[in-house]
Structure 1
């Protein structure tokens, strides 16, 4: 698109089809258009991309977008092209002829936006650097800027070298953007990218449309299947697991249960990973089961849930992963099942890692914060927002499991003392200790061959805790390990009391924890039968029928063009079309998400579908 009106609001309406900016978008865009540097912290789904795409279109030259996501550049470029933006990408996936065409378009000033991977600028004398010097650059956008943090959860060494952009192109504005940054990471971004003179825009990290829920892990596969069937049947979602084997087993189990699921992890062949990602992005209702190798930069707006069946390593990782749900602003869910084995496993990973003591201490701090979120008896959202530096927030969000179903607290001081005493006595009197299950058997008086062999039934703590269930005892163990009163050591996770346990044993400190909730309340979804998508949930039956016709048309159109459906139109746009059912071009332009280019491309077909004459 050759822009004649470079006013940001005109570009917003004509190219992207929106009538109003959100939050600080307009201030950021005007600052960058005027030549200023910016650091932007904005939650996933907050509209970060417009903050550099509109200035790239408005300013003379080409906007250079540095993104670590080579696998997703194609879809990002196609989405811009369908909106009329002249976009391209240079990455390792291009054939030599395609690369020459993109380079020629850049040198001749025929690109508004050019995507690059950071490693292409890692060397000052690289071919790409020399190419960029020969053209005119409108701005540099450093996406996923938290990757520069060496103590963060997603460190990429090539990001450290991007600070040199200020030296090579001192007059070109730079904008660094991320959705995941604590105050410490924010400082690292500023310092390492040499953005000390930049203007900082920090939005609230609150994603109010996401409902957070953390449940005690029992039979996690059955719990996951129930969660998907009861609340998100037929909807797109992401399930995160820690190991490749667990990913494949879970995906297979979901498929066996009739869920349209695919696996994704770094151990798969590149072709298989690409096929899984493509299906997830371009088909409706696909669930991808993945390791953390999947997800950064996923632009799919209609992901209705993100589930974790293993404990994330950090709050930053958890927040970024859950943020991939509900980018379209519609109701979505972040669900996690968490148990004692997760805590033991993560501690073991840290101890076995190759890092030095400083690195291990940092990993432990990250894990401690994650455990505190899981064990919290206060609002999940409040904890998350305070972690990212937001203090002036309400005590209750009304959209997390703690707020919706307030947990009952119980004084676990006595059982904690019993458990700690049992651990100590097995050490002193039997010269050894055990993993959690054996100690729980002692406390509940459960006979076994091991008990008889080592005469554990002669311990003074034998059967003193029979009034509590095995589930409650597992919760006590998990809580004590999570809070550092017990340590789980070695390959088998044997329990040892820490120094912090002494005040509890002496009665100088109390232990309060939440009751385990085994049977969750009935789902808040509609129950039996097929569940409407979130976008169609508030539509009348007649409007829902129109919505489904539009979705069918969109699926055919997207398949023909080889792009995800949301690149054509998002669900929110289709829902608005179903509600208002415009009959003219002007009516279509009044719908959020329809700009001039998409009107010209799709307007006639959409009007036919709305009139019931085409699909």
Structure 2
């Protein structure tokens, strides 16, 4: 409706028909359309492709069909709808008419599929570009208190309009209720609401300048509000295409707008579960998982968000200078020891349990499940008790997105170790993780990857080799992973600082009192000898 109003304001004779309007109004519109008093008529695909509608339109001289949100036609698109796919029959019913299709979010495969369906591959494809330079991009790791994260982002935006996307209908209502309690002009929107409630919310969104709509993806298509100043996702979208489509509803006036994606491991599990439970064939599921993996890679990227996003659509760009990664380059931290803790806990519990249970084991939580399974008796029980549950959940999610772990949907989200993860467990490969951006009790090894430069390690390769050999020797004798002796980061500290006494050795990260007593003299002798 807002698009029709906008066209009328420009002097274009436009109208729309839909099932909710009175019969008398619908009859008058059709009469005007037939008499060519209306130049552009908006209609849903469901109504258009009814046999009686097609028969009526064939009697008129329709010169062009314009399909908006055309990615819905393709099964590879971000919002595939079967009623849109029926539009492929238009070329048979109206062979003389021009068929054009528009979308802002279609990768190469989706564009080809749309072209094949609508024109048998004979259509011309025009590509404008995907860059939206006025949008600022940011991603946050979800904690147990997503409401606080959302409020922190919105606290200075009460006089602006925006959209908060949620995965479920229930979550939209919880989100709206929370924001209302914080004195925001917030409204839920989802397919389960009464039609009039949805119409009223859309009208408010178009006319008020301080409204926030907490919505499922049911909200947004056909909405053309130019001054949306922010879009937030508190649930993970299904793909980069879907994400790009949804953030594209912000800043259509060309002015600055902000976007924020807050996601966690549970979001990833839910999305993978949706794919696995769908009726689609394996080929489709594989492609959908790859699309989801691309979005996860975007979320965990340490480089410019815009570059990562545009590269997915085969478009090159310079660093934007305004995304969270450009403004605050993430710190990469050596986390081999923590990774081995996680991997060991998963291995010792049989690779049958999800992240929640593994986190309980790591933190030494005597939950009923932990006690029943006897997991309070394994060696890794409580080894990570100095870190918060949020830290471990995010740490595990990063391991999943980096393919050190996988989520087994058939086993209700059980974490399993990949071949890549096995190399870390065996101490054959180091693991670095993106700094987890909230206060934790854990003492992270603040070692930037670039600080342990290649030249230093090359100059000291004999010493590093000797230290690693001794570590492996001791680990084999004790039948423990190498990190239990010393993680690689601590060996690097030994190389950088070359301690000469036990006191100096004890000041290094990763060398506690017990390890100092057990291994201090042995490693000091190696450092002195080379």
TM-score (norm 2): 0.77
> CA offsets per residue over residues 123-147 of structure 1, 9 Å max, x none?
5xx3322332333333221111111
The match for 2:158 is 233
Give the drift of 1:452.
5.7
2:241 is equivalent to residue 316 of structure 1: yes
User: What displacement does 1:440 show?
Assistant: 3.2
Structure 2 residue 329 is the aligned partner of structure 1 residue 406? yes
Does residue 293 of structure 2 align to residue 374 of structure 1?
no
1:281-430 equivalence runs, <5 A: 281-390=206-315, 392-394=316-318, 396-427=319-350
Residues 105-504 of structure 1 aligned to structure 2 (within 5 Å): 105-123=32-50, 126-194=51-119, 196-218=121-143, 219-230=145-156, 232-390=157-315, 392-394=316-318, 396-427=319-350, 433-445=352-364, 455-465=374-384, 468-489=387-408, 493-504=413-424
Compute the RMSD of aligned alpha carbons: 2.4
* Mapped partners of 1:120, 1:470: distance in 2: 51
Q: Give per-residue Cα distances to partners, 1:446-489, cap 9 Å, x unaligned.
A: 56666566554442334444565544322221112223332344
Do the aligned residues in 2 keep the contact of 1:206 with 1:385 (CA within 8 Å)? yes
Number of the residue aligned with 2:506? none
Tell which has more relative contact order, 1 or 2 (C-alpha 8 A, sep 6+): 1
**Residues of 2 paired with 1:445 and 1:172: CA distance?**
69
Secondary structure at 1:313 match in 2: coil
SS in 2 for 1:279: helix
Q: Check whether the contact 1:160–1:193 (CA below 8 A) recurs between aligned residues.
A: no
C-alpha distance 454-162 of structure 1, shift in aligned 2 (>3 A)? closer
Q: What is the aligned length?
A: 437
Question: Where in structure 1 are there 5+ consecutive unaligned residues?
Answer: 1-73, 520-615
* Structure 2 gap segments, 5+ residues each: 440-530
State the match for 1:100 in structure 2. 27
The answer (yes or no) to whether the contact 2:63–2:96 under 8 Å persists in 1 is no
Task: Report the TM-score, using the length of structure 1 for normalisation.
Answer: 0.67
Alpha-carbon offset, residue 254 of structure 1: 0.5
CA distance in 2 between counterparts of 1:102 and 1:480 reads 58
C-alpha spacing 1:86/1:507, structure 2 compared with 1 (3 Å): same
* Secondary structure class of the residue paired with 1:191: helix
CA gap 1:143/1:414 in 2 versus in 1, 3 angstroms:
same
Is contact 1:348–1:489 with CA below 8 Å preserved after alignment? no
Q: Distance in 2 between matches of 1:502 and 1:512?
A: 15
2: distance between equivalents of 1:274 and 1:120? 19
Partner Cα separation in structure 1 for residue 112 and residue 97 of structure 2: 22
What displacement does 1:363 show? 2.8
- State how far apart, in whole Å, the 1-side matches of 2:399 and 2:215 are: 30
CA distance in 2, matches of 1:322, 1:469: 32
Partners of 2:77 and 2:340 lie apart in 1 by: 37
Asked whether the 8 Å contact 2:353–2:415 carries over to 1, the reply is: yes
Structure 1 residue 159: Cα displacement: 2.6
Q: 1:449 to 1:105 in 2, by over 3 A?
A: closer
